[in-house]
Structure 1
């Protein structure tokens, strides 16, 4: 079955339950996110146009913030919509942002737009992923690159990072696997530092156990001490290319990431389209050959 013929079902997202969420106080959530964004109470209070005293009282539980203040703080801290809902529930308020499945009628127009973008990109690979890099949709070119990977990696729910780095996935086809592996793990650690998402942490731990091609040990996960991307060094290419072996010859690809602008639905806010482009004329021709 073509992956584009049916939206891959993402994992059942945790629905918010007020009693459960209030176990984490709104003050502790606010403090954690403020510190993660490296803002002092004074800096956030100035941005929010409230007194430092009031903000301190909110964080310590001595004052109850209004709904509008929590929404304002969530915007200033650039919280994911999911986390803004969580903060509202912890404060005793109803969620602000809905969460629909991509296959539901409410997101039909958005799904159609995603399909059009993916199909229009063929014969170059493109795919849509959720916040955990689970594969939702892929165009024919991306599916062609997945041919030959172990079937168990495609079911029940493919994860793009797992597909890329697993020894039975695309890893054997990646020419500079060592560099690409370090790049993806550093990218995942940056996301984890921004979101503190336990599923991303579990994914990083899993990917780190895959044997590195050079036999080196992967770096221990320490979100508090995340440094620059290991590949953030002088490089002969303007962007880091993904180099793959294919039946048509070596492919050199670079990627762009597209997200929805100003989404108000959680699912759309967490959806991203990764589009791969040929890094040289030879790759463009080889991708056209593979599509014939």
Structure 2
């Protein structure tokens, strides 16, 4: 259920514009509207049409949920539906995601929602969850909390300071972009966790010169992963717009061999 916002639509648009670092002139040019009219909209002197709200929101790359809030603030009906992930409308999407996750085995991959809750996972993710405290594995599992909590993966992440800084930067940017209170609260929680030792000097391997790998201890082995994020193109549903596939690839031959030796079956654990 979408609740009506307590702030005028002009203020919401102004805040989004400022978070993007755009001037009124910048946005007016991009959206094809006069800077004077945009100023009137932001100050409440002019009521924007629903088409204008959506045009401005598109140029600001505003998340779909917040576009709906802007429309409500302007006195209009929401434009984007929000279906249940388990509902029939999104069944084809869930089937497609399972194919992606299963096809990625024996390398770990997960589907997460906009708040980093685990939605689906392939069996190879057990490599990361093994040894984690049960309170971190109780649904809904938050994958960032699982990653950085001392009772989760943190004790086995060999480059914890670098990996932690990478995740916190990403979460902070997401919270600022979406103005999502839940993400801001998660950020405050996670940055209070132990950060590990002081950041080590950059390693000399080729991968570490271009990206931050996840260096993870599994038994007596050090495994190294590259992570990728896949979003759904042109989403028209609020739920779908918040979903992302996080996939991990081996960053060296040792990790490739170790993951194939583990022999994770290509079947969904979701």
Provide the TM-score with structure 2 as the length reference: 0.91
CA distance in 2, matches of 1:96, 1:263: 12
Q: 2:176 aligns with which of 193, 204, 229?
A: 193
4+ residue runs over 3 A deviation: 231-236
- The residue that corresponds to 1:129 in the other structure is 112
Contact 1:248–1:290 (CA under 8 A) maintained in structure 2: no
RMSD: 2.1
Contact 2:107–2:250 (CA under 8 A) maintained in structure 1: yes
Secondary structure at 2:191 match in 1: helix
Q: 2:3 aligns with which of 17, 21, 40?
A: 17
Deviation per CA, 1:17-58: give whole Å up to 9, x if none. Answer: 23xx1x110010011011111111112112222222211111
CA distance in 2, matches of 1:78, 1:232: 34
Q: 1:142 aligns with which of 99, 117, 125?
A: 125
In the TM superposition, 1:230-269 aligns within 5 A as: 236-237=206-207, 238-247=210-219, 249-269=221-241
Secondary structure at 1:213 match in 2: coil
CA distance in 2, matches of 1:233, 1:25: 51
Give the C-alpha shift of residue 133 in structure 1.
1.0
Secondary structure at 1:250 match in 2: strand
Give the C-alpha shift of residue 248 in structure 1.
6.6
CA distance in 1, matches of 2:162, 2:232: 30
Unaligned runs of 5+ in 1: 1-14, 217-230
- Greater shift, 42-51 or 99-108, is seen at 42-51
Provide the TM-score with structure 1 as the length reference: 0.85
CA distance in 2, matches of 1:85, 1:136: 24
Deviation per CA, 1:155-209: give whole Å up to 9, x if none. Answer: 1311111000100000111111122112211222222232222111111111111
- The residue that corresponds to 2:56 in the other structure is 73
- The residue that corresponds to 2:166 in the other structure is 183
Unaligned runs of 5+ in 2: 265-270
- Equivalent residues, number: 262
Give the C-alpha shift of residue 154 in structure 1.
1.0
- The residue that corresponds to 1:172 in the other structure is 155
- The residue that corresponds to 1:120 in the other structure is 103
Secondary structure at 1:43 match in 2: helix
Deviation per CA, 1:253-279: give whole Å up to 9, x if none. Answer: 001111111110111111000110000
Give the C-alpha shift of residue 289 in structure 1.
1.7
The answer on 1:153 being equivalent to 2:131 is: no
